[in-house]
Structures are given as C-alpha cells and as structure tokens.
C-alpha cells in the first residue's frame, strides 16, 4: 500500500470509446503525475500538476486529457485512442515539484488495452 | 540527448550478491534514484544519491560516481522476493526525472 490508489486496474476499450482513469493520493502531497509505462521502455512522463495547476505537458496527443480538481485527485480522460496507446498508466505523487521531486510515490497502475 | 543505460535482464542465485549498473548522460545532475518494481505492482523508492560514494541501507547499497556518470545498485544475500525490475533515474538540471528502461532481475534457487 503506497498511499496512491488507481482505478480501474484493468481497462479494455475500443478506439471510439471514451473512458477515464482515476488516481487518488492519501499522502498530503501537492504534486501529481501521469506516466506511461510500455514494456522494455523507460517511463514516459505525460503530465505534471503542482498545487492543482498543470506545470508540464510533454507533447502528449490531445486524445489524452488530464484533470486535477484538487490536490488529492487526478484523472486522465481518454478518447479515440489508438492500439499503440495500450500500456500501463501510472499515477504518482510527491511532496513538491521541486528539487526533491525525484522521490515519487506510485500507484499500481491502470493496464489499458485498446482494441 | 539525454540517456540512461542499464542492462535489460540479469540472473543471480539466492543468497548471492548482484550488482546492477547504470550509466547516464544528462543535461545537469541533481541526484540519482533507484526504484524497485515487482511484476504488476507500483514502483517503490529504494535510494537516492547526490554525492559520490556508497550509501548503504540494509542488504541494498547504492554507489555514485558523478565524474564517470555511473551508479550501481548492490544487492546482498539475495532472496527470492528480490526478483523484480530495478529502475534507475536521474534528476536533471530542470528537475525532470530521466528514466532508464529498467533491469529485470531473476533470482534462482
């Protein structure tokens, strides 16, 4: 139990579907992250929110849309995805998006399969 | 470009010692992290090195040489539960984490 909870753990969707991934952290952190993890590839940072404001968007396609309503919750809205978007999507939190932001607390991820 | 290199897979025997290497080329350096990720689970923080030398934490130790752009994670008295992927990551000058692809460690009885 890392203090970061992701739902759903598994998701299968067609390319025309719309779905959302949810992340909740119970650690009192003020920065939250979405990462994409594909087999045998480095973690890819998608979005960073610090104090509920997006501070980074690493050129992610618009079919991925993040939402951070408060410092404890983070969503990733998905629509018209492609098969190559199939991956493990990890949420993480940290105390602050600053010099100590390398110590991240991860959720167990949402395994997404796009058919 | 920025790059982190670590072996894709390693195999070791229960009770033995294994060293997982990580070399990096990044724009600046603000520390190096090791994470452990068991299959189907969340990555968890293991260690942080920002100064040269060896940091020991129980059976695990992490070493850093900034001049060589090199780190290793040393696991002693290996146990079956140490079978996992080990991720190396560097915090660059913009305080962005640059990740390696991870090393899958297989422990055999």
Mean pLDDT of all residues in B77-83: 98
Task: List residues bridging with B97 in a β-sheet.
Answer: B91
- The residue in chain B having the minimum alpha-carbon distance to the alpha carbon of residue A6 is B42
Is A19 a residue whose pLDDT tops 80? yes
For the cut 80, the answer to whether the pLDDT of residue B93 exceeds it is yes
Chain A within 8 Å of B73 (Cβ-Cβ)?
no
- Tell me whether residues B33 and A103 touch, CB distance under 8 A: yes
Of the listed ranges A26-30, A72-76, B17-21, B91-95, the least confidently predicted one is B91-95
pLDDT band at B95 (very low <50, low <70, confident <90, very high): confident
| A39, A103, B26 from A99: Cα distances, Å | 29, 10, 16
**B101: contact with A, CB 8 A cutoff:** yes
Which residues of chain B make contact with A101, given a CB cutoff of 8 A? 91, 95, 97
Instruction: Flag if B45 and A104 touch (Cβ within 8 Å).
Output: yes
Report the residue of chain A nearest B4, measured CA to CA.
A42
Total number of residues shown for chain B: 109
CA distance B35 to A35: 15
Q: What is the pLDDT of residues A76-100, one digit of tens each?
A: 999 999 999 999 999 999 987 554 5
Task: Give the mean model confidence (pLDDT) for residues B18-36.
Answer: 96
Residue B47: how many other CB atoms lie within 10 Å: 19
Given an 8 Å threshold on Cβ–Cβ distance, is B101 in contact with A40? yes
């Amino acid at each position: 139990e890392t203090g970061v909870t992701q739902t759903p753990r598994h998701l299968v969707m067609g390319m025309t579907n719309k779905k959302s991934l949810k992340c909740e952290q119970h650690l009192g952190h003020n920065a939250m992250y979405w990462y994409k993890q594909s087999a045998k590839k480095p973690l890819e940072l998608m979005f960073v929110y610090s104090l509920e404001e997006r501070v980074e968007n690493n050129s992610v396609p618009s079919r991925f849309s993040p939402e951070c309503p408060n410092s404890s919750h983070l969503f990733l809205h998905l629509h018209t995805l492609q098969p190559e978007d199939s991956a493990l999507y990890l949420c993480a939190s940290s105390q602050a998006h600053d010099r100590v932001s390398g110590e991240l607390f991860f959720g167990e991820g949402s395994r997404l399969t796009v058919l | 470009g920025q790059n982190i290199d670590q072996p894709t897979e390693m195999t070791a025997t229960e009770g033995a010692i294994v060293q997982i290497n990580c070399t990096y080329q990044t724009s600046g350096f603000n520390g190096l992290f090791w994470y452990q990720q068991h299959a189907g689970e969340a990555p968890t923080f293991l260690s942080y090195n920002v100064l040269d030398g060896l940091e020991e934490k129980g059976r695990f130790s992490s070493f850093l040489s900034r001049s060589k752009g090199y780190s290793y994670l040393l696991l002693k008295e290996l146990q079956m539960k140490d079978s996992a992927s080990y991720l190396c990551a560097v915090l660059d000058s913009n305080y962005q984490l640059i990740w390696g692809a991870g090393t899958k460690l297989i422990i055999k009885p």
